[in-house]
């Protein structure tokens, strides 16, 4: 099992191009199942989750063509099987999203219940209730969801009990081929949902209100193909900005959308960073200074994203002052805290492990660490960058699910980091 070895103490400086958004790309790959013509997806990051989704499509007999620039072309009408097996779906939660598109296009689907990061329960009940409201017949059998519909799905009025990114995406995709109008209320508003809708509209879907609480989908008889460029990955961008802030560095990110990171940029300004932005770039400069401690509460977009919470805790461990970080989106999302405390951080968990109180220390000390989810793993990389001595980060297969060539990118910014075979 590969590990990352980090020699801390160097600041993060330089320019970096941000990859395409993983959370957009995997969902758009699932959406390609709706089309009667080839769908070409550009700016796709080279990540394990992408490889898993491509493998899943391939095992269903779908023709997938990948060029040297990681542009992916999919022709869903080559499908031969309508089953998404446990061995693949268990490794990545987003692969469950093939259920709705297969059902809407072909009238049947059999998909294993999902896996993914161990960050608390993320039930798919809202996905299934939404599909049932559209007329799907759903049976649970030995860990598989078996769905079918007689004819086409039917438009419906759906209200989500809580904001759900996956649920919003799933029902929106299925509704594109439903007969009549679907009104979805209390929808998630994340940029990745807007990106998915842009792709579906390019395929011929009739969708309105994306990016607001209410989405209206007027079903069409069929969808065609399109060419779509995936938006930049706001979580990757945020991670590198936080790494630069934590190490007192200066970084310029290119191919990024600053409007997707407004709350993070405000928090980093609170931490003492000078930040300037253009249409597709962000520059952050700490002028060699330590950050100031910053409080935050995670919540659905456009509030502070849960996927950047662990990285901000890493920054706060050596910040001036004390900070309170409250997690409201997922349970079990403070697994990185105990590892950081082993490195000399002063972090206490309160409120049934939903709030972290961080008192900044002078420095962290390198140590062997490991984590159990994607963002916790990358937060330990940031902790290693600011620590004295050597840090060994184990279980980096989590990082490889969401960060493209992370050690090469950090090396280009002056970090002393290398990958070794475990």
**Active site positions, annotated:** 117
**Stated length of the chain:** 422
* Separation between Cα atoms, residue 418 and residue 410, nearest integer Å: 10
**Residue 44 and residue 70 in contact, taking contact as beta carbons nearer than 8 Å:** yes
**Residue 44 and residue 72 in contact, taking contact as beta carbons nearer than 8 Å:** yes
Question: Position of tokens 């419906």?
Answer: 156
Tokens describing residue 146: 């078996």
**Residue 268 and residue 275 in contact, taking contact as beta carbons nearer than 8 Å:** yes
**Residue 304 and residue 298 in contact, taking contact as beta carbons nearer than 8 Å:** yes
Residues 38, 45, 23, CA angle at the centre, nearest 5°? 85
**Residue 153 and residue 178 in contact, taking contact as beta carbons nearer than 8 Å:** yes
**Residue 176 and residue 198 in contact, taking contact as beta carbons nearer than 8 Å:** no
Give the end-to-end CA distance of the chain in Å, rounded to a whole number. 4
**Residue 128 and residue 84 in contact, taking contact as beta carbons nearer than 8 Å:** no
Question: Position of tokens 């709705």?
Answer: 100
**Number of Cβ atoms within 10 Å of the Cβ of 24:** 29
* Separation between Cα atoms, residue 222 and residue 178, nearest integer Å: 10
SS3 of 220, please?
coil
Contact partners, residue 392, CB within 8 Å, separation at least 6 = 3, 4, 5, 6, 366, 367, 368, 369
Question: Position of tokens 């007689």?
Answer: 150
Instruction: Name the helix (H) or strand (E) containing 6.
Output: strand 3-7
* Separation between Cα atoms, residue 392 and residue 377, nearest integer Å: 11
**Number of Cβ atoms within 10 Å of the Cβ of 279:** 8
* Separation between Cα atoms, residue 18 and residue 412, nearest integer Å: 13
């Amino acid at each position: 099992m590969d590990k990352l070895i980090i020699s801390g103490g160097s600041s993060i400086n330089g320019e970096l191009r941000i990859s395409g958004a993983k959370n957009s790309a995997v969902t758009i790959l699932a959406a390609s199942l709706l089309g009667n013509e080839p769908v070409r997806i550009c700016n796709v990051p080279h990540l394990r989750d992408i490889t898993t989704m491509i493998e899943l499509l391939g095992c269903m007999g779908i023709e997938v063509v990948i060029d040297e620039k990681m542009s992916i072309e999919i022709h869903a009408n080559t499908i031969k099987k309508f089953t998404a097996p446990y061995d693949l779906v268990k490794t990545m939660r987003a692969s469950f999203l093939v259920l709705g598109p297969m059902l809407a296009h072909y009238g049947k689907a059999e998909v294993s219940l999902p896996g993914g990061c161990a960050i608390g329960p993320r039930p798919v009940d809202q996905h299934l209730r939404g599909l049932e409201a559209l007329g799907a017949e759903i049976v649970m059998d030995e860990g598989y969801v078996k769905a079918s519909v007689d004819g086409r799905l039917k438009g419906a009025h759906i209200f989500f009990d809580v904001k759900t990114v996956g649920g919003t995406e799933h029902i929106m995709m299925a509704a594109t081929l439903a007969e009549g109008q679907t009104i979805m209320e209390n929808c998630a508003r994340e940029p990745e949902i807007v990106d998915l809708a842009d792709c579906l509209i390019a395929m011929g879907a009739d969708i309105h209100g994306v990016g607001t609480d209410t989405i209206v989908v007027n079903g069409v008889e069929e969808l065609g193909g399109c060419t779509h460029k995936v938006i930049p990955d706001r979580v990757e961008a945020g991670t590198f900005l936080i790494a630069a802030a934590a190490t007192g560095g200066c970084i310029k990110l290119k191919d990024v959308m600053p409007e997707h990171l407004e709350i993070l940029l405000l928090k980093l300004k609170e931490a003492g960073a000078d930040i300037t932005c253009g249409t597709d770039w962000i520059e952050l400069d700490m002028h060699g200074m330590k950050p100031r401690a910053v409080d935050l509460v995670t919540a659905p977009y456009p509030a502070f994203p849960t996927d950047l919470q662990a990285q901000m805790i890493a920054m706060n461990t050596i910040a001036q002052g004390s900070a309170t970080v409250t997690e409201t989106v997922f349970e079990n999302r403070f697994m990185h805290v105990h590892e950081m405390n082993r490195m000399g951080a002063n972090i206490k968990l309160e409120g049934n492990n939903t709030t972290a109180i961080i008192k900044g220390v002078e420095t962290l000390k390198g140590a062997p660490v490991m984590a159990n989810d994607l963002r916790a793993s990358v937060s330990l990389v940031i902790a290693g960058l600011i620590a004295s001595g050597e840090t060994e980060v184990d279980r980096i297969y989590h990082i490889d699910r969401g960060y493209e060539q992370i050690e090469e990118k950090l090396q280009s910014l002056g970090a002393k980091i290398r990958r070794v075979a475990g």
